[in-house]
Chain A
């Protein structure tokens, strides 16, 4: 079995209203000097294979087909 982590983030230039709100909340908690905050999603997956090449290819397809909306989001894949 291979464990993998997929991280999905908004592309540069895409407005992130939630990130902005979090940025404001951190400021109001007294955390000075916090620059831009961008929020995203993390997916931890378990794949029933030992083939790392196949796992990576499958994860890429999963990201393109469902986990990320590539109109607005980028993704990175990390195998454990």
Chain B
């Protein structure tokens, strides 16, 4: 699987993502700087987590207006898979590639711990290695992960199966509406989620529940 990891000033989870992609796919991803207007021919583009542009204005707002995002939009329209994790999710929302918005955590506190995730849709290219309703462990680390969408949008994404991950009952760390932890676009090739699956892929991490997300994409690409 050929992949690309986007780099922007202030993102700090790019190395974790590069390590996870390299270990799971056996191929190191190419890195793409924010000013690039052409992207290499890859199967998966990943926007990792961090604090792009210091979270100024709104999380992901400035990053979403960088030239590379136009190139990512074009790739997404062509069907290339795009994954955004944490700040990457915020950037995908701000760029309009995914529906909704992320607000400050209801507790107003930065949350850094492990949560339980329910796989709400296991029929996506990102989750086929899991089973529907499966509960997996996953770390979160964010201040603005409180997902919000208006009633109409919420009904649409719930109805279309675009809610891919939910915080399992009683573990919602941020007040997210309907316990939403990750959503995809209607076409199913763009996914964003707040938790960090790349940080739970091997024994040294204390578990490998996050591996299935990358393994799913790998499986789809190989098919």
Contacts and interface: CB of A to CB of B under 8 A. Distances in A.
Interface in A1-43: 13-18, 21
A15 B146 contact: yes
Contacts, number: 39
A69 B100 CA distance: 10
B101 A15 contact: no
Interface in B99-123: 100-101, 103-108
Contact of B148 (A15, A21, A65, A66): A15
A72 interface: yes
Contacts of B1: none
Interface size classification for chain B: 20 to 34
B94 interface: yes
Contacts of B161: none
A17 B104 contact: yes
Contacts of A48: none
Interface residues of A, number: 13
A69 B101 contact: yes
Interface string A37-72: 000000000000000000000000000011101011
A17 B103 contact: yes
A2 B146 CA distance: 38
B154 to A, nearest CB: 12
B57 interface: yes
A72 B106 contact: no
Contacts of A18: 104, 108
A14 B103 contact: yes
Interface of B: 57-58, 61-62, 65, 93-94, 100-101, 103-108, 146, 148-150, 175
Interface of A: 13-18, 21, 65-67, 69, 71-72
Given A15-B103, A69-B61, A69-B94, 6 more contacts: A14-B148, A15-B175, A17-B104, A17-B106, A17-B107, A71-B101
